[in-house]
Amino acid sequence: MASETYQLLDDDLHQNTEAGTPVTAELAQLFEKTGYWAKILAVTNFLNAVMQMVFLVSITSSVQYAYYRGYTSDIWISLVVIAAMLAAAILSVFNGIYLWRYALNINQALLFDDSQEVTLSFSSLNKYFKMLGWMTILFMATTLVSFLYFLLKDTSRAF
């Protein structure tokens, strides 16, 4: 009985895969909304990258000034933060590109009923989520290194 049910489900799944899944009006509207918001998030990612680069220029000049004034004890933590922010800015640009591609491809897919464009759009969305995962790991690692540094720095003074 159970294997017969699995066989029926398997047959139904293959039939739907071969025939294609119809896009309902509700699904098309949801795709359109996600494309709209993907464009907005792509633009904000680009703006975020620009703001991070401006901040990096200012923080780098401050670190250089401190180094030339003789404040070298905490220079490496500043360099780690600068490197992490530079990586985050670069990843933010790529995230914006992937979201923009998703938005354009999903709109093209809806306009021309093209399943290949849907595949391309979700491929871009997949890359976006991978990049977002790497950015999250980078942020967590930078936070952990900074936390451990300041924790160890403060506890070394206690002894």
Q: Specify the CATH number for the domain of residue 90.
A: 1.20.58
Q: What is the pLDDT along the chain (159 residues), one digit of tens a residue?
A: 445 543 443 343 334 445 566 678 898 899 999 999 999 999 999 999 999 999 888 888 877 777 777 776 667 777 877 888 888 899 899 999 999 999 999 999 988 888 899 999 999 999 999 999 988 998 898 889 888 887 887 665 555
Please report whether residue 19 resides in a domain: no
What's the confidence (pLDDT) of residue 68? 77
How distant is the alpha carbon of residue 26 from its chain centre?
A: 27
Tell whether 151 is covered by a domain: yes
Contact status, residue 96 vs residue 45, Cβ threshold 8 Å: yes
Residue 50 token pair: 């620009």
**Domain limits at 45?**
24-158
| Domain assignment of residue 112, yes or no | yes
Say which residue the tokens 């509207």 belong to: 29
pLDDT for the residue 16 = 46
Helical ranges in 20-114 per DSSP H:
25-68, 75-112
Model-level pTM greater than 0.95? no
The answer to whether position 7 is within a domain reads: no
pLDDT at position 57 = 86
Residues 126 and 130: their CA atoms lie apart, in Å, by: 6
Instruction: Give me 87's structure tokens.
Output: 């990586």
Assess if residue 97 is contained within a domain.
yes
Q: How many domains does the chain have?
A: 1
Q: What is the pLDDT of residue 2?
A: 46
> What angle, rounded to 10 degrees, do the helices at 115-158 and 75-112 form?
160
